């Protein structure tokens, strides 16, 4: 059987609000989401029942009275459905807010509060409806027509090694709930109309791999972006962006038994290719921004902070890498095994030489601002 429209929306990413769930001919269904789904916060039966009586009565006496087809509760106890014919979205939003405002100060008798008019008339309370109407109105008072769309597409995973690499991304999220799995925290919500899961993996390949596999197993992302800072080949300047074409693990070496240096056991390749589609979209964002220089190329990963020019040049000579960091290669390996698209987006904080530790401390924060700007433009473009 085909899924109904409501079941195609990822409920993990729904916030309180008003959304259009479907349009059938000239009838629009508005989902009035009063609670975040699956958080344990539900409307009790008496509150739902009471608000149903009052809202249905008020809206059928409003300026859209002749076009109201139906108003009734969601079985999941998180909100109501409002069906309107020939809907003008701005007008419907205005009416919803006005009805809620009127209910929040209503002190008259409950409509339909008798055994003749209602099948459970003893389960009605005007005060419960007033409280809920006021609460919901405070959450939707600023919504406009542009807020009526459910968040788009699949889940986008965003992983940084350190809190400062994703802090600004979390601050931009429209809403966010934190889910803890082991010692990892996953920030689940929406960002610029997209479903996102943002996580701090911790530094190094093992931490990154654990975080990536957990994110994939729990949230089934469409793709993952690894963001943060990196050391760059000497021609790259601090703040410049590197968009990975592929990732390698420079410290993976079984060449003594005949393998190529960097050849990863199990998948038997050296270069793990990044998603061309996602990488191209990131490049498009950079070209739209225009003010942030960038290069595409191979990013090398290893459990080592590169602060030695000879070591940096050896990695570049061996793998053709233009940036060095500690997570992207293992994130790429886990994504490759799970058949999940990924991309690595890094801003240069140092040049992997003897001054790297000082340069990193001075310029990391500024470099991170560039990756955040690119991510923001990337998501706005989608």
What is 225-258 written as a DSSP string?
EEEEEEEE-TTSPTT-EEEEEEEEETT---GGGT
State how far the Cα of 258 lies from the Cα of 244, in Å rounded to an integer: 28
Residue 40 three-state SS: coil
How many other C-beta atoms can be found within 10 angstroms of the C-beta atom of residue 67? Answer: 18
User: From its phi and psi, is residue 320 left (phi > 0), alpha (psi between -120 and 50) or beta?
Assistant: left
Q: Are 248 and 272 in contact (CB under 8 A)?
A: yes
How many other C-beta atoms can be found within 10 angstroms of the C-beta atom of residue 1? Answer: 3
Helix (H) or strand (E) holding 298: strand 294-301
State how far the Cα of 382 lies from the Cα of 375, in Å rounded to an integer: 11
Q: Of 292, 341, 346, nearest to 324 (Cα)?
A: 346
Query: Which ranges of 105-152 does DSSP label H, i.e. alpha helix?
Result: 126-140
Q: What are phi and psi of 314, to 5 degrees?
A: -65, -45
| Interacting residues of 217 by C-beta distance below 8 A, sequence separation 6+ | none
Look up 165 and say whether it is catalytic.
yes
Catalytic position from the list 16, 31, 67, 165:
165
Look up 350 and say whether it is catalytic.
yes
| Interacting residues of 114 by C-beta distance below 8 A, sequence separation 6+ | 121
How many other C-beta atoms can be found within 10 angstroms of the C-beta atom of residue 69? Answer: 14
Residue 39 three-state SS: coil
What is the spatial order of strands in the sheet that 17-24 belongs to? 17-24, 27-33, 79-85, 68-73
Active site members: 165, 350
């Amino acid at each position: 059987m085909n899924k109904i429209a409501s079941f195609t929306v990822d409920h993990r990413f729904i916030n309180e609000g008003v959304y259009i769930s479907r349009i059938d001919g000239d009838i629009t269904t508005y989902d009035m989401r009063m609670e975040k789904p699956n958080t344990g916060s539900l409307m009790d039966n008496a509150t739902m029942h009471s608000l149903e009586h009052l809202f249905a009565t008020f809206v059928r006496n409003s300026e859209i009275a002749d076009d109201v087809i139906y108003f009734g509760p969601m079985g999941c106890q998180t909100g109501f459905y409002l069906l309107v014919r020939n809907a003008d979205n701005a007008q419907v939003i205005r009416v919803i807010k006005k009805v809620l405002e009127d209910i929040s100060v209503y002190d008259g008798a409950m409509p339909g509060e008798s055994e003749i008019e209602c099948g459970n008339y003893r389960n009605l309370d005007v005060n419960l409806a007033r409280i809920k109407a006021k609460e919901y109105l405070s959450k939707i008072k600023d919504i406009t027509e542009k807020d009526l769309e459910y968040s788009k597409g699949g889940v986008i995973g965003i992983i940084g090694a350190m809190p400062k690499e994703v802090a600004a991304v979390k601050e931009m999220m429209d809403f966010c709930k934190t889910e803890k799995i082991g010692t990892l925290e996953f920030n689940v919500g929406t960002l610029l109309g997209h479903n996102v899961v943002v996580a701090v993996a911790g530094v190094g390949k093992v931490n990154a791999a654990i975080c990536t596999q957990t994110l994939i197993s729990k949230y089934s992302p469409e793709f993952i972006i690894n963001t943060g800072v990196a050391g760059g080949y000497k021609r790259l300047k601090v703040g410049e962006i590197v968009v990975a074409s592929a990732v390698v693990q420079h410290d993976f070496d079984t060449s003594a038994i005949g393998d190529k240096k960097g050849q990863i056991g199990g998948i038997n390749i050296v270069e793990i290719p990044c998603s061309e589609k996602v990488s191209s979209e990131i490049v498009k964002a950079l070209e739209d921004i225009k003010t942030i220089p960038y290069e595409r190329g191979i990013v090398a990963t290893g459990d080592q902070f590169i602060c030695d020019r000879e070591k940096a040049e050896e990695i570049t000579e061996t793998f053709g890498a233009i940036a060095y960091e500690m997570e992207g290669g293992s994130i790429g390996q886990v994504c490759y095994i799970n058949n999940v698209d990924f991309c690595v987006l890094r801003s240069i904080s140092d040049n992997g030489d003897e001054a790297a530790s000082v340069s990193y401390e001075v310029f990391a924060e500024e470099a991170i601002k560039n990756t955040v700007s690119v991510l923001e433009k990337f998501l706005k473009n989608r």
